[in-house]
Amino acid sequence: MEFSDHRQPPREWTPWLDEWVGAMRAQGNSPRTIENWWYVVGHLALKTRKSPEDITGKDIIDWLNRGVGANSKRSDVNACTAFFGWACRTGRRKDNPMDLVPTVHRDRRKQIPAPVEAVEKAKHCADKRALLTIMLMDEAGLRRSELATMHTRDVIDDLTGKSIIVHGKGGKDRIIPLSDQLGRIVSSLPEGYFFPGEHDGHVCHDTIYRIVKNATGWPPHAFRRKSATDLWRAAGDAMKVKEMLGHESLQTTQNYIYATLDDLRDAVDELRAYRGADAREIHPEKILEAYNVPPAITRLLLDSIRNQE
């Protein structure tokens, strides 16, 4: 039985899931991906109460519509696609229920980072795990899945203080320096997982979600976006933000950085000063248009600048 420290799916799913996990290990999937996909398919099994032979595309669609966001649905679909594709290839199923599941489009709306008040709210939460969870997300930009598996052996000494080894997506590790306060907190934790499970091992990433949402009213990723935005404003270097978040693509990192109207105004002011020093004529409206700023926002911004002149 795989992942015995987690809540187990119905008994008829166990042989299928165990063999699928073995196949993923042979394929070279990262341990974190394997555990996460096992958890997702196990959750599907628990909620539908259908056997793996009998579950239908409609069952999966109903489960996807349980109230999670578009990006979570995409992750769930990826796990189920991998599982049922394996089941068909190995002859366990003749039909693939995922053929009836529509494509989930990525949510491309700019997501708002959590406010400072949400971090302060966590300090007064009865669940003592909440503050540590949110501090790690806010200061180190961690994903909830990375938080769930964080262990005291991942805390290391560097030349100036404490850092933490983060086990990211695709088996890729990164090292994040910690503030003095956060370094002292994690160094004082008892040996083992930062967030131990009820029976053994560590909590699942859904537990991290509930801890954060119940404590602040904001989802965990909002604090990761806050960390990205604050670092970008402080350092002005998107590549540093990319490395801290553990992204492969700079384009992904840009989606995490929240630019306000004040940020755009500062950028235009700086450009006007630069071009003015070089005696070149500039057209701010064309610059903003190139960044897909809506015309209404452009007019508002330019009117504000003219009123200051």
The pLDDT of 211-223, averaged and rounded, is 92
At 175, give phi and psi (nearest 5°): -110, 125
pLDDT, one tens digit per residue, over 73-122 is 999 999 999 999 999 999 999 999 999 999 998 776 667 899 999 999 98
Q: Would you give the DSSP letter of residue 104?
A: P
Higher pLDDT, 102 or 284: 102
As a whole number of angstroms, the distance between CA 118 and CA 259 comes to 19
Contact 98, 85 (CB under 8 A): yes
Kindly state the percentage of the chain with pLDDT values over 90: 55
Contact 55, 15 (CB under 8 A): no
Query: Is residue 278's pLDDT more than 60?
Result: no
The highest-confidence range among 31-40, 148-157, 200-209, 276-285, by mean pLDDT, is 148-157
Structure tokens at 200: 């053994």
CA atoms within 13 A on the CB side of 175: 9
* C-beta pairs of 263-272 under 8 Å, 24+ apart in sequence: 263/233, 264/288, 264/291, 264/293, 264/297, 264/301, 265/301, 265/304, 265/305, 268/301, 268/305, 269/305, 272/305
Average pLDDT, the chain: 87
pTM above 0.75, yes or no: no
pLDDT, one tens digit per residue, over 127-176 is 889 999 999 999 999 998 899 999 999 999 988 899 999 998 877 899 99
The pLDDT of 244-270, averaged and rounded, is 78
